[in-house]
Homo-oligomer: A and B are copies of this chain.
Amino acid sequence: MAEIIDGKKIATEIKDELKIEIEGLKRSGITPGLATILVGENPASQVYVRNKTSACQNIGIYSEQHTLSSKIKEGELLELINELNKKPNIDGILVQLPLPSGIEEKKVLSAISPDKDVDGFHYHNVGRFFCEKSYSEMKREELFLPCTPFGIMEMLLRSQVKIEGSEAVVLGRSNIVGKPIAMLLLSANATVTICHSKTSNLKGVTSRADILVAAIGIPCFVKKDMVKQGAVVIDVGINRMNEGIVGDVDFAPVNEVCRAITPVPGGVGPMTITMLLVNTTTSAKRRLKMKNEKLSTIFNF
């Protein structure tokens, strides 16, 4: 039986560290603030936004939720984003995806100020982390990394999984998970392969993986015979089935061959929300830094 990589536990550790940072910020007169925007009545989105809001409350981050009708015009949404961009007590803006048809996702995500883009989806922030050479440098520079891949990296590192020199295979190539986690694993010196629906001999490719990340949204897609003995398996899938939430990995049989695995639920999920809190706090720390710089300029005058 494989080691279970406990996302909930690691998330709690990170949140405990964050709490101390947030208390420090508050003593300096800064409360980190997150604005969430939910358009329409998608039930899964409602759950996600509610979870994010309560995660903020639990840790001492101010949050405000903007709920808009699915009939809203794109222009009104852009106007709200623009207002939030200017609001000094808001450090992060999150627009819950997917957006209703008729609203252009690209345009909306580009409207969020890169300085408040705590989801890490703005082209500028994507380009920024793509161009950074090493993961440690990304962390030092406190870039806004997209939350799910960022969470996976922290999970691996805090579980002492050796990334450098390993073969990592990423199954799936979304902008939210597949492509960015491939880039992050590369930045930590893994040899990275991205495979997808058009891959020939998929089983042959996934079987090479020392680290296998499954992010395709197909329940129990990764079978035992696709996984190398001793691999570390990261299951990003959140598939809602009659029997409950199920990952992209056929957990019980894969568990027999791999060395370590993330469960669903309780694996990547809690990490994703936590990294949103990290990014929001990072943004608030930048606000404090700018405030201090302004003060020092005034006193130098």
Contact = CB atoms under 8 A, between A and B. Distances in A.
Contacts of A167: 200, 205
A200 B208 CA distance: 13
Interface string A90-110: 000000000000000010000
A289 interface: no
For this chain, the copies found in one complex come to 2
A199 interface: yes
Interface of A: 106, 122-128, 130-131, 164-167, 173, 175, 179, 182-183, 186, 189, 191-196, 198-200, 205
Contacts of A186: 173, 179, 194, 196
Contacts of A123: 123-128, 131
Contact of A127 (B127, B165, B166, B198): B127
Given A123-B127, A126-B130, A192 B194 contact: yes
Contact of A198 (B122, B164, B194, B195): B164
A175 B126 contact: no
Contacts of A194: 182, 186, 191-192
Given A126-B131, A130-B179, 19 more contacts: A106-B131, A123-B125, A123-B131, A124-B127, A127-B130, A130-B130, A130-B175, A164-B198, A165-B198, A166-B200, A167-B205, A173-B186, A179-B183, A182-B194, A189-B196, A191-B198, A191-B205, A192-B193, A192-B194
Tell me which of A123, A183, A186, A205 has the highest count of chain B C-beta atoms within 10 A of its own C-beta. A123
A200 B165 contact: yes
A37 B124 CA distance: 24
A127 B146 CA distance: 13
Contacts of A165: 198-200
9 contacts: A106-B131, A123-B126, A124-B124, A126-B127, A127-B128, A130-B175, A186-B194, A189-B198, A193-B193
Tell me which of A131, A179, A205 has the highest count of chain B C-beta atoms within 10 A of its own C-beta. A131
Tell me which of A130, A164, A195, A196 has the highest count of chain B C-beta atoms within 10 A of its own C-beta. A130
A106 B127 CA distance: 11
A154 to B, nearest CB: 21
A193 B204 CA distance: 14
A164 B131 CA distance: 26
A191 B200 CA distance: 8
Contact of A195 (B106, B126, B191, B205): B191
A200 B126 CA distance: 28
Nearest to A132: B175
Nearest to A210: B200
